[in-house]
Amino acid sequence: MAKSLVIVESPAKAKTINKFLGRNYVVKASMGHVRDLPVKSLAVDVKKNFATKFEVVPGRKKVLDELTKTAKTSSAIYLAADPDREGEAICWHLAQELKRLRKPIHRVMFNEITKGAVQAAFAHPGRIDSRKVDAQQARRILDRLVGYQISPLLWEKVRRGISAGRVQSVALRLVVDREKEIRAFVPAEYWTITAQLARPDGVGPEFPARLARVNGEKASIPSQQEADRILAELAPLRGEFRVASLVRKEKRRNPVPPFTTSKLQQEAARKLRFTARRTMQVAQQLYEGIEVGDEGAVGLITYMRTDSARVSPEAQAEARRFIAGRYGAEYLPERPPAYRSGKGAQEAHEAVRPTSVLREPGQVASSLTREQLALYTLIWNRFVASQMRPALFDTTAAEIVAGRYTFRASGQQMTFAGFMQVYVEGRDEPVRSASAKGGDAEAEEDEERALPPLQQGQVLACQGLTPVQHFTQPPPRFTEASLVKELEEQGIGRPSTYAAILGVIQNRDYAVKVDGKFKPTELGEIVVDLLVENFPRILDPGFTAQMETKLDEIEEGKADWLKEMHTFYGAFARWLEKAKEKMRNIKAMEEPTDIACEKCGRSMVIKWGRFGKFLACSGYPECKNTKELPARRGGAGGPGNGEGEAATGTNGQGEPVAEGQPCENCGKPMVMKRGRFGPFLACSGYPDCRTVVRIAKAAAAPPEPTNQVCDKCGAPMVIRDGRFGRFLSCSSYPTCKNIKPIPIGVDCPRCGAPLGARRSKRGRTFYGCSAYPKCDFTLWNRPVPEPCPACGAKFLVEKRLKGGVKIQCATEGCEYQRDAAPPAPAEASAKS
């Protein structure tokens, strides 16, 4: 009997699915798209209803030939790409290439790669959704028309090799506009006054109360003089602070929904410092399948590209059983919670969740890399918390008056942890307006602070009055998390595109990260200004969001893709023709300077070239003298280290030399250049002066001495830091190259040699025999140098579980386990 051919995108997914389907199926990977628009031409005929010319993706011909060969001898073809527009397009392109074989072609979709989900999908196969394909094709054509027709304009007017994109240019505009807000921001001074109050009888703790109103109006203290005047007026009233009103109530804090793609990217950026791209790469690995103990390859999470917060009833039922058993019935809500998805969400998908809540992070930890475990733990915790009861707080809000001044104090205490027993969502840096004075002085909403027992009318003792000066702060630059959040809120892009958007604006040198926050380069600002001037609609976030809505409507069958393409391109073609005539030519622009050309004496001008700004003689073409523009400290996009700081090096005498400082030989400023061995400082008077200064790499930490002796040459051993962590090395290196792991006080049960900590290529710490390769004994869990009191094994191991760190026996069949004490440092035994 002929086998059926199943085609998925990746080898990892193929391996996992193959295990579930059995011998009647052969599963192969297409390695993503097999056909696409060619790179070297527009390939869209706008005069013939946007007819497209697809070609086999370079490097995929061999893959396609192999798929075709297998399909010829197969009884049927099942296309099992991911359940989204891009996956549907992959299936459609494969079907177009394989339909000539006249074999039955089926489309199968599943939200999770588990045995039950995969087998159910194959039991009820469907057809390729032409509406999803139309929506993907429309997006692809829109992006091609915008990118391939605006980018040549930028090559002509700014510099060759740069590009514009329909969505990423709008994202860049957000970054540029925020930077302009920061530059235009003028700090305003304001003051706050806090009273430290207590009950006269000493019952309960002291507590702070902040001045809120004066004569019933909101308090405004713009200067120290005003603050001093208020303090002088309050000084004789210290014994007259009285509780004017008191409000006590119970506050509920509801759990957050399980992850959507954007929320996952935001939280991974906040808590794990993952980029959006890294988050999606690791999530893809968890989705496609991981080898987990006896279970074998299994997908640990549901599909990670989704904007839906929906959870299947089966998953909720499993979570409820788990929560009742692990945390108690009091943590279980009366009915499973239902979360509302965002506008336009694809409700056919589920939220990002573990495929089984019974696979706790601690149980699968030994099968995952450090990054996989961190992300899986985040997803697992968020999902479990989303199915639990709200947290409860007792809150107290008091207004205390002293003369015409009203102070406010608040406190809250948690009475029931609820979902916060498992998970609390991270927060972004708040965006405050210039007029929002006092925002940073407000008490944190969820701060745990107890107020003493208070009664209305009660007189309080004022222990002190503290004035504090503040200045309003500009809005913060975008982080990965806050930029993804902004894109989602404004409807720019979709879950599958956020990571690519953030990557493109950095790869194109339009923005750099400074302390983890996006800062536009000078090139990025110029590109945005030109595009806003000439294509205001394309760069309008509202228009871009409207186009995304149209694509959703095409997928839902509410709009015709061809009609929408004609509507868009009719206007775009007019904008394009106008821009060809009126776009400013940055290349031709010259900015005068007071620097004289050393060759002809004329003034130098600042011009734009392939690598940014440079100095050129105004007498060009008679004088062709050019040189690099000296770096400006704090400049965006000029030469330097990418963070607006001058690069520094050291001259032959060990003295520091900074970018912009005079050359020690001729006095002209030093500028940073890049060569085959990295950055260096060079004299701007080159080629007349050829002075260069190396920028040295940061010095490595000095070796750490130990009391151990090298068993090969007798020299002392030292602890060094290397690519795979800390290790013991002979102090006479490179004469003696003896190295070994740092012993942890436990001997190998096979050969008796000391065990030591090592790090794998993927960054995971493991423990292996120091006699390797003669002995290959290894452990993932850290050995503890004490015998097992139950079975007499020579050592125990430290295991990190959901309930905390446990000490247990590693011997199979022995169930000894206890709570752990804080472990000693790994290298303690090496120094003793």
Other Cβ atoms less than 10 A from the Cβ of 112: the count is 21
Question: Is 312 in contact with 303 (CB distance < 8 Å)?
Answer: no
pLDDT at 323: 96
3-state helix, strand, coil in the chain (%, to 5): 30, 25, 40
Higher pLDDT residue, 343 or 464? 464
pLDDT at 783 over 70: yes
Higher pLDDT residue, 325 or 514? 325
pLDDT at 448: 67
pLDDT at 258 over 80: yes
How many CA atoms within 13 Å lie on the side-chain side of 560? 5
Quick one: average pLDDT of 530-558? Answer: 93
619: nearest Cα among 604, 608, 598:
604
Quick one: average pLDDT of 190-196? Answer: 96
pLDDT at 803: 64
Higher pLDDT residue, 269 or 634? 269
**Is 423 an active-site residue?**
no
217-218 and 626-628 beta bridge pairing:
unpaired
pLDDT at 465: 95
Quick one: average pLDDT of 433-444? Answer: 47
State the catalytic residue, choosing from 303, 510, 569, 767.
303
pLDDT at 660 over 70: no
pLDDT at 650: 53
pLDDT at 688: 73
Higher pLDDT residue, 501 or 790? 501
Q: In degrees, to the nearest 5, what angle opens at C-alpha 342 toward C-alphas 341 and 346? A: 70
Strand partners, 467: 193
pLDDT at 1: 58
In eight-state DSSP terms, residue 803 is T
- Rounded distance, CA 586 to CA 612, Å? 11
Question: Is 595 in contact with 616 (CB distance < 8 Å)?
Answer: no
What DSSP letter does each residue of 44-72 carry, written as one string?
Answer: EEGGGTTEE--EEPTT-HHHHHHHHHHHH
What DSSP letter does each residue of 449-516 carry, written as one string?
Answer: BPPPP--TT-EEEEEEEEEEEEE--PPPPP-HHHHHHHHHHTT-S-TTTHHHHHHHHHHTTSEEEETT
What is the per-residue pLDDT across 46-86, written as a single tens digit (0 to 9) for each? 999 999 999 999 889 999 999 999 999 999 999 999 999 99
745: nearest Cα among 737, 755, 753, 735:
755
- Rounded alpha-carbon distances, angstroms, from residue 24 to 2, 98, 99, 226: 8, 20, 21, 84
Strand partners, 252: 392
pLDDT at 363 over 70: yes
Min mean pLDDT across 295-309, 342-356, 397-411 is at 342-356
pLDDT at 418: 95
Min mean pLDDT across 185-189, 373-377, 805-809 is at 805-809
- Rounded distance, CA 485 to CA 262, Å? 7
- Token code pair at residue 228: 């001093």
- Rounded distance, CA 604 to CA 662, Å? 19
Average pLDDT, the chain: 85
Angle between helices 168-184 and 480-489 (to 10 degrees): 110
pLDDT at 344: 58
What is the per-residue pLDDT across 571-584, written as a single tens digit (0 to 9) for each? 999 999 999 999 99
The pTM (predicted TM-score) of the whole model is 0.72
Q: Which residue has the tokens 């990670």?
A: 304
pLDDT at 631 over 70: no
The phi and psi torsions of 22 (rounded to 5 degrees) equal 90, -170
Torsion sign (Cα): 756, 760, 761, 764 = negative
How many CA atoms within 13 Å lie on the side-chain side of 470? 22
In eight-state DSSP terms, residue 187 is -
pLDDT at 699: 43
Q: Report which residue type is found at 224.
A: Q
What is the per-residue pLDDT across 275-330, written as a single tens digit (0 to 9) for each? 999 999 999 999 999 999 888 889 999 999 998 999 999 999 999 999 999 999 99
- Rounded distance, CA 128 to CA 156, Å? 43
Quick one: average pLDDT of 190-207? Answer: 93
Higher pLDDT residue, 702 or 11? 11
pLDDT at 174 over 70: yes
B/e letters for 716-746, b = 16+ CB within 10 Å, e = fewer, are ebbbbeeeebbbbbbbbeeeeeeebbbbbbb
Question: Is 778 in contact with 751 (CB distance < 8 Å)?
Answer: no
The phi and psi torsions of 511 (rounded to 5 degrees) equal -150, 150
What is the per-residue pLDDT across 84-136, written as a single tens digit (0 to 9) for each? 999 999 999 999 999 999 999 999 999 999 999 999 999 999 999 999 999 99
Quick one: average pLDDT of 586-591? Answer: 82
Quick one: average pLDDT of 435-448? Answer: 48
Q: Which helix (H) or strand (E) holds 202?
A: none
Strand partners, 198: 461
- Rounded alpha-carbon distances, angstroms, from residue 533 to 56, 540, 565, 583, 609: 38, 11, 23, 8, 21
Question: Percent of the chain having pLDDT more than 70?
Answer: 87
pLDDT at 480 over 90: yes
| 3-class DSSP assignment, residue 107 | strand
- Token code pair at residue 20: 């579930």
Question: Is 29 in contact with 8 (CB distance < 8 Å)?
Answer: yes
Question: Is 421 in contact with 327 (CB distance < 8 Å)?
Answer: yes
pLDDT at 629 over 80: no
pLDDT at 287: 94
Angle between helices 480-489 and 498-507 (to 10 degrees): 120
| 3-class DSSP assignment, residue 193 | strand
- Token code pair at residue 533: 């001037």
Quick one: average pLDDT of 691-699? Answer: 60
- Rounded alpha-carbon distances, angstroms, from residue 791 to 285, 752, 767, 806, 812: 39, 19, 22, 17, 10
What is the per-residue pLDDT across 207-257, written as a single tens digit (0 to 9) for each? 999 999 999 999 999 999 999 999 999 999 988 999 999 999 999 999 999
